[in-house]
Amino acid sequence: MSEPIIEAIGLQKVFRDFWRRPKVKAVNDVSFTVNRGEVFGLLGPNGSGKSTTLKMILGLLYPTSGQLRVLGRSPRDVKTKARIGYLPEESYSYPYLTSQETLSFYGMLFDLPAGERQQRTEQLLDMIGLRHARRRQVGEFSKGMARRIGLAQALINDPDLVILDEPTSGLDPIGCRQVKDLIKALAARGKTVLLSSHLLSDVEDVCDRVIILYNGKVQALGTINELLEQKTQYRLTMPEVSAEGLQRILAAVRAELGNEPAVDHPRRDLEQFFLEIVEKARQATTEASGVGPASGVARYLAGDEVLQQLLKTPESPAPAPLSAAQQQAADEKLRKLVEPPK
């Protein structure tokens, strides 16, 4: 399990101007190791060197100094590319090709036999929900649709190492959810995933370990829990209690701590809420112009049937969402309840 897939030691990238004078130190002394089966996240604000690091791993940029080995070889080795899938920051596909042709073309670059290529293309188009647009030219796609094509082409070779540069950017929440499910499915099959993002929730949901970059330097590295757990605080979640019951509990806490604890209603997150709404709307209509109903994960990616099943079962059914007014009323009631006695 600890076979290193990517090893970076003292990685540095200096961009130079035309006269070869150093201009920007985009990556500065970055060291990390990504092991097989891990989902590894590069986190950092805009311009912190995430894409630069990924491009060095892909052999698109050459490190100024430091050591870098990918799948045991130099990142510039052409043969190891057969085991890598890459989703770039923006979509760089050929505008005049249809989505089907695009996927088939990239399949050819991996020497996939025609039958296999066609099968995977079909499954990927189903997975990204663009089956209905398979004969449309990619040039006329919306940003999110183009991103989906980019994601599909990164997976056409069933790669061992998947490198995703901001995989959820430009995607709607369903797409985001799907990408996250996909990443989990890939990891479950022992694939290694390296992704970059500045969306914290993405990283939090899927990554085993993250590295936080700022100004090209590593600021923190570790598992999500290690980094996020606040060991000095506790959170208590309870079923509904009567007003008097809550007052008594709060009084006890006040007596223990000597100051006021924070109390609120837990909320479902907005992502979950959105997904439910769209699911309902989808059941009501059949015609789709943008992204159609997407099916879990392409069969050849998911591996066995059991896993496929697992991915398809929806999360535990949530209670019907409250309207905004109802929610507000509930919040108001709670505020009154927890108000400390005057």
Partner 1 sequence: MNKVFAIAGIAIRNAIRSRVVVVLLALLLIAIVALPLTIKGDGTLTGAVQVLLRYTLGAVTMILSIATLWAGCAAISLEVQERQVHLLVTKPVFRMQLWLGKWLGLLILNTVLLGLAGVASYTLLRWNLRQDDVADILVARRVVNPMPLDIAADARQIFEEQKRRGELPPGPPDQVLEAIQQSLRQQAYSVPSGLARRYVFPVKPTGVPLVIRYKFASSSTGKEQLACLWIAGSPDRADRFEKPEYAAPGGVHTVRIPPAMVDTNETLTVDVANVHPMPLTMVFAPDDGVQLLVQETSFEMNLVRCLLLELVKLAFLGALAVTIGSVFSLPVAAVTAGYALLLMNIGGYLQTLIGQKMIFSAGAQPGILDLLVHWIYVILYWLTKPFQQPSALEPLAAGELVSWTWLGTIFLWQVVVAGGAVAAIGVWAFNRRELGLPE
State the residues that interact with ligand ATP by CB under 6 A.
15, 23-24, 26, 44, 46-52, 89, 198
62 near partner 1, rule: CB under 8 A: yes
Residue span 280-309 as binding mask against partner 1, x where in contact by CB under 8 A, dash where not:
------------------------------
- What CA–CA distance (Å, rounded) separates 103 from 133? 13
* Residue selected from 6, 11, 39, 51 as contacting Mg ion according to rule CB under 5 A: 51
C-beta closer to partner 1: residue 79 or 231: 79
C-beta closer to ligand ATP: residue 46 or 225: 46
Residue span 257-286 as binding mask against Mg ion, x where in contact by CB under 5 A, dash where not:
------------------------------
Instruction: Check if the beta carbon of residue 133 is closer than 8 Å to that of residue 152.
Output: no
C-beta closer to partner 1: residue 126 or 165: 165
CA atoms within 13 A on the CB side of 157: 21
Hunting for tokens 């890939």 — which residue is that?
A: 186
7 near partner 1, rule: CB under 8 A: no
C-beta closer to ligand ATP: residue 120 or 209: 209
- What CA–CA distance (Å, rounded) separates 192 from 183? 9
- What CA–CA distance (Å, rounded) separates 46 from 214? 9
C-beta closer to partner 1: residue 129 or 150: 150
Q: How many CB atoms lie within 10 A of CB 234?
A: 7
Hunting for tokens 């990238």 — which residue is that?
A: 13
- What does residue 332 show for φ and ψ, rounded to 5 degrees? -60, -45
91 near Mg ion, rule: CB under 5 A: no
The token duo for 110 is 């991996």
> Least distance to ligand ATP from the beta carbon of 305, Å?
38
90 near partner 1, rule: CB under 8 A: yes
Q: Order across the sheet with 65-70: list the strands.
A: 22-35, 4-16, 65-70
48 near Mg ion, rule: CB under 5 A: no
Please choose, out of 6-14, 85-93, 223-231, 244-252, the segment that lies near Mg ion by the rule CB under 5 A: 85-93
> Least distance to ligand ATP from the beta carbon of 173, Å?
20
Tell me, by CB under 8 A, how many residues bind partner 1: 30
Please choose, out of 30-38, 87-95, 277-285, 316-324, the segment that lies near partner 1 by the rule CB under 8 A: 87-95
